[in-house]
Chain A
Amino acid sequence: MLAGDPALTPIAGGTDLLVHWPGNTDARTRDYLDLSRLRPSQSEIRWDDDAVTLGAMTTYWDVVTDKRFREHFPILIDAARQVGAVQIQTRGTWAGNICNASPVADGVPVLMALGASVELRSAAGAESIPLDRFYTGYRQTRRQPDQLVTSITIPRHQRTTQFFEKVGSRRAQAITKVGVAVTHHNETGWRVVANAMAPVIIRCANVETLLSSISPIRTPDDLLPAIDADMTPITDIRSTAPYRRTVFAQILFHALRQRNLRVSVDAR
């Protein structure tokens, strides 16, 4: 169907697409492909030895209530529990979050920090794209109009370090103002993914390099040069650029310090 109609918009949980629906004449006059009828088959979560695969219709709540994630991927539960509130979590899908490509998505950073990839399928075939190469610009992805995300694969590497910090305007039902997802793997090293700090959700290459180095990190300020090299946060309706910059450094610093990671022992 998608091959025949490039303007067809797939809809899963609808928690992004239906916002302000009555007043959104454009949205209401478009054609949609309703994927929700593909549950439960497409919401299956498959655990293999080397990877976990989330079906395209897997919701945040599916992950929150699956005890295996608490043991192996608590970072996903941390993120899922902070998306909106329960009513959003029971409907919103990880795949939808990925495809919506919002710069303030909460699912994307943690998946990207885990080294996840998306599987896309079209009439022409299938391909797998690592999530950290999936975004090409503001709200732009490498998904072709005739492709659907069919699953998300998360490698089961030994990432003993994984954390997600979200700063919103309140404790729940909040759009992220500043966010970061961090993992560390003994072989593949650091992944630091910033949320709400750029038009696209990105890995912070300079911060990753800094964390991989032996340069001392004694205060949040020591992170700033790398942060500035990676991103230029903006002032918008939700927050200010100086706030975002400072808070990003601070939440990252304190999260590392709390876990006795990378931060110099004599730091105050």
Chain B
Amino acid sequence: MLRIEGLAKLTGAERYVDDEPIGDALWGMTVRSNAARGVIRSIEFDPAVDWSGFTIVTPDDLPGPNAVHHIECDQPILAATETRHIGEALVLLAHEDRDTLRDAVRRVRVKIDPLPPALDFREPPTAEQVQRGRDNVFTELCIDKGDVDAAFEGAAHIVEGVYETGAQEHLYIEPQGMIAWVDDAGVVCCKGSMQCPYYVVAALTHALERTPDRVRVIQTPTGGGFGGKEDYPSVLALHAALLAMKANRPVRIIYDRDEDMLATTKRHPCLTRHRTAVDANGKLLAQDIDVVMDGGAYLTLSPVVLSRGIIHGAGPYACPNVRIRGRAVLTNTTPFGAFRGFGAPQTHFANERHMDAVAGAIGMDPVEIRRINIIRDGDSTATGQVINDGTDRVAILDSAIERSRYHDLLREHESFNATSPDKRRGVGLAFFHHGAGFTGAGEVYLSSIVHVVGRPDGSVEVRAASTEMGQGKETVFTQIVSSRLGIDPARMTIATPDSARVPDSGPTVASRTTMVVGRLLERACDDLRTIIGAENAQGDALHTAISRWCESNPGAEPVGQAQYQPPPGVHWDDKTYKGDAYGTYTWAAYIADIEIDLRTFTASVRAFTAVQEVGAVVNPTLASGQVQGGVVQAIGWALMEDCLWQDGAMANSQLTNYIIPTSDDVPHIDVVFVENPYEYGGKGSKGLGELPMDGPAPAIANAISNALRLDANRIPLTPERIFSLINNAQTA
């Protein structure tokens, strides 16, 4: 099925939040902190400005708690007494004229007495830098399997390594935007670019001290999310709503690109230490892993990012003894948040680089060391989850190796490198996995609901809170429902995610939408049939049965409902971090073929092969597109996307200076799917969206390490970093 909203997007007819006519809305903007940490002494409004035309919101105007509801409530809506990062929101302004408003933002002077900021997450804070607990640690988690310390005794080989990944900016092409207003019934309404309408509902009800029926959140077509519009829209919605409530007029906030880059969340930077014991044959005996993540100034989603990071941290391998310790720490940086992969790209980078390091240390082929250690059915993961999904993981590895001509390339590159005066080529591999859906009891906690509703004209409407942000939800939901009900897609619609009309089917994150919500839609379709007494009806017969039911029940509508039920036999212990972390996993092998220009130290990807098993593939074009997009986004993270920090703020917050790949920077991405339908996923699917983010960076770093015979253990591997690597090796 072609992308349902594809033509609207191609013709420019699709309307994003900034495309809405301005109407009588005011523009809103934010006065921000220019100190990494300090005590806010005063806010002064330049007397040369006529402030009477402005709506002003300061912390004193807040009707309820000054807190953005995430997992904790440590982040203020507007910093009141203390600021904890540059770019933190302090004061909100609204005005009819956008230019006047921009100018006015600069004329609000906030006096801040600086305090010593904690700026390096890798170093323990000094006493005066402590702002949380005794050591600035947000969260600490531990996975413990077997007896790691005993296993190290007498191990044939022990290999250590340190790996580091940098922050990453989402760079959705549509910047953040939100419009808020108070409707005639006094309901506070927000519409805008977002992934999770019900997260925004939670933030509004908490801060405004209202019940959910007194707020309304609507998702507008969203131009990219990648996690960057998972938690941040709660902040933006609160800002717009507060201004709208005070002004008694709609308020529209659209971030400029550099403001978006400066002030919103990014991927957690991560430092991982590995210590691994293997036997004489390369079989894993013990993995001892330490993970530290930079959480930025507030907790946001750090505990969950850390959680997923450590759960994936030992890779898709069978190892009897595993210890993974993880910490997320506070620094006076813009808070880090959700980003596609959500901790797993960081830890997979480390683990897959380390697997190559171990292979190198013991003189083993990187493919072989993986082949002998890959989890087989019956083996258990680091959390003790026994895998039994029938996926032939070794075949995935072999398929990637064969299709990419991995061994041929290795040989060809060896000859090439021996004779080329100014280029080096290498090939690298990553084998990895990604748990689909929310971790552990997360899906049970979410308890998602969907409705599939019959309309009087016999057509069907799907009501779910899942949002389309390019990943194809609109199309996949249409496929699932139309095929389950046996109807023409033209006889069904998918309701706009509007909290006044759709139930909470959970956030659009965690690669859960097709799998979890899709499965719920199938069950809701079945429920609809039951309600209208048309168990086996399809097509016209079904439409007729719906109409008939509506006629017989005037004023009512048949609502087929389904609520989440966990798959049987999934048990997770949140206290001990043991058990079945996810209902199912996806598996992949990625191969990167790279070339380094020794004149300029630039690494480029010549070819890329991505082989994965993601359950059943519901829509091949959309699924390939997700893989290709994720791979290219990860290539950017690996090679060119560098967040340059100055006092905890992004110094290169301009598109000119934050470099993402253009079409000319990447090759064709070769995508292969291996299918193994998952019983509990919509149309047999497993989650797909994030998996492609986990593999490219380590595959590329392995390829660069292969090409240069050096250890490329830190990304981004910009030309300047490769230059340093080579230089340091030469002087050593």
A246 touches B723 (CB 8 A): yes
A172 touches B720 (CB 8 A): no
| Distance to closest chain B CB from A195 (angstroms) | 14
Any chain B CB within 8 A of the CB of A23? Answer: yes
A-B pairs under 8 A by CB, number = 69
- The residue from A20, A23, A243 contacting B601, defined by CB atoms under 8 A apart: A243
Interface string of A19-50 (1 = CB under 8 A from B): 11011010010000000000000000000000
* A23-B102, A237-B657 known; A247+B421 contact, CB < 8 A: no
| Distance to closest chain A CB from B545 (angstroms) | 55
From B110-118, B270-278, B494-502, B660-668, the one touching the partner chain is: B660-668
Nearest chain A residue, comparing its CB with the CB of B259: A23
Give chain B's interface secondary structure class. loop
- On chain A, the residues within 8 Å of B657 by CB distance are 175, 237-238
Any chain B CB within 8 A of the CB of A173? Answer: yes
Interface string of B636-655 (1 = CB under 8 A from A): 00001000100000011010
A172 touches B664 (CB 8 A): yes
Enumerate A242-268 residues with CB–CB distance to B below 8 Å: 242-243, 246-247, 250-251, 254, 268
Any chain A CB within 8 A of the CB of B599? Answer: yes
B258 touches A20 (CB 8 A): yes
Alpha-carbon distance A23/B644, docked complex (angstroms)? 22
Nearest chain B residue, comparing its CB with the CB of A238: B657
| Distance to closest chain A CB from B238 (angstroms) | 24
A239 touches B102 (CB 8 A): no
A250 touches B662 (CB 8 A): no
- On chain A, the residues within 8 Å of B720 by CB distance are 239-240, 243
- On chain A, the residues within 8 Å of B599 by CB distance are 247, 250-251, 254
Alpha-carbon distance A111/B102, docked complex (angstroms)? 40
* A237-B651, A240-B720, A268-B421 known; A173+B103 contact, CB < 8 A: no
Interface string of A162-179 (1 = CB under 8 A from B): 000001011111110010
- On chain A, the residues within 8 Å of B664 by CB distance are 170-172
| Distance to closest chain A CB from B646 (angstroms) | 9
* A23-B256, A237-B644, A237-B652 known; A173+B102 contact, CB < 8 A: no
A172 touches B662 (CB 8 A): yes
Any chain A CB within 8 A of the CB of B659? Answer: yes
Any chain A CB within 8 A of the CB of B530? Answer: no
A251 touches B644 (CB 8 A): no
Alpha-carbon distance A206/B644, docked complex (angstroms)? 35
Interface centre among B600, B644, B664 (most CB of A within 10 A): B600
Enumerate A29-83 residues with CB–CB distance to B below 8 Å: none
- The residue from A85, A167, A172 contacting B600, defined by CB atoms under 8 A apart: A167
B600 touches A171 (CB 8 A): no
A22 touches B256 (CB 8 A): yes
Interface size class of B (residues with CB under 8 A): 20 to 34
- On chain A, the residues within 8 Å of B258 by CB distance are 20, 23
B652 touches A173 (CB 8 A): no
How many of chain A's residues have a CB under 8 angstroms from any CB in B? 28
A250 touches B600 (CB 8 A): yes
Alpha-carbon distance A55/B498, docked complex (angstroms)? 57
A22 touches B102 (CB 8 A): yes
- On chain A, the residues within 8 Å of B601 by CB distance are 243, 247
Enumerate B606-641 residues with CB–CB distance to A below 8 Å: 640
- On chain B, the residues within 8 Å of A246 by CB distance are 723
Interface string of B583-612 (1 = CB under 8 A from A): 000000000000000111110100000000
- The residue from B103, B665, B719 contacting A171, defined by CB atoms under 8 A apart: B665
Nearest chain B residue, comparing its CB with the CB of A239: B720
Alpha-carbon distance A22/B723, docked complex (angstroms)? 38
Enumerate A215-253 residues with CB–CB distance to B below 8 Å: 237-240, 242-243, 246-247, 250-251
| Distance to closest chain B CB from A171 (angstroms) | 4
Nearest chain A residue, comparing its CB with the CB of B659: A169
Alpha-carbon distance A23/B654, docked complex (angstroms)? 13
- On chain B, the residues within 8 Å of A175 by CB distance are 656-657
Any chain A CB within 8 A of the CB of B123? Answer: no
- On chain A, the residues within 8 Å of B661 by CB distance are 170
| Distance to closest chain A CB from B731 (angstroms) | 12
Any chain A CB within 8 A of the CB of B160? Answer: no
Alpha-carbon distance A242/B651, docked complex (angstroms)? 21
| Distance to closest chain A CB from B284 (angstroms) | 38
| Distance to closest chain B CB from A233 (angstroms) | 12
- The residue from B99, B598, B600, B652 contacting A28, defined by CB atoms under 8 A apart: B99
- The residue from A23, A170, A251 contacting B665, defined by CB atoms under 8 A apart: A170
- On chain B, the residues within 8 Å of A170 by CB distance are 640, 659, 661-662, 664-665
- On chain A, the residues within 8 Å of B727 by CB distance are 242
| Distance to closest chain A CB from B62 (angstroms) | 28
Nearest chain A residue, comparing its CB with the CB of B663: A172
- On chain A, the residues within 8 Å of B644 by CB distance are 237
- On chain B, the residues within 8 Å of A254 by CB distance are 421-422, 599
A247 touches B662 (CB 8 A): no
Enumerate A166-199 residues with CB–CB distance to B below 8 Å: 167, 169-175, 178
Alpha-carbon distance A187/B677, docked complex (angstroms)? 75
Nearest chain A residue, comparing its CB with the CB of B651: A237
Enumerate B653-693 residues with CB–CB distance to A below 8 Å: 654, 656-657, 659, 661-662, 664-665
Enumerate B715-732 residues with CB–CB distance to A below 8 Å: 718-720, 723, 727
Alpha-carbon distance A243/B719, docked complex (angstroms)? 8
Nearest chain A residue, comparing its CB with the CB of B257: A20
Enumerate B502-525 residues with CB–CB distance to A below 8 Å: none
Alpha-carbon distance A82/B506, docked complex (angstroms)? 46
Alpha-carbon distance A107/B719, docked complex (angstroms)? 24
Alpha-carbon distance A36/B662, docked complex (angstroms)? 29
In order of increasing CB-CB distance, the 3 nearest A-B pairs are: A250-B599, A171-B664, A169-B659
Given A85-B662, A167-B719, A246-B723, 5 further pairs, Cβ under 8 A: A20-B654, A23-B102, A171-B664, A178-B600, A254-B421
Task: Give 8 pairs: A residue, B residue, CB < 8 Å, sorted on A.
Answer: A20-B258, A23-B258, A170-B661, A170-B664, A173-B662, A237-B657, A238-B657, A251-B599
Q: Which residues of B contact A (CB under 8 A)?
A: 98-99, 102-103, 256, 258, 421-422, 598-602, 604, 640, 644, 651-652, 654, 656-657, 659, 661-662, 664-665, 718-720, 723, 727
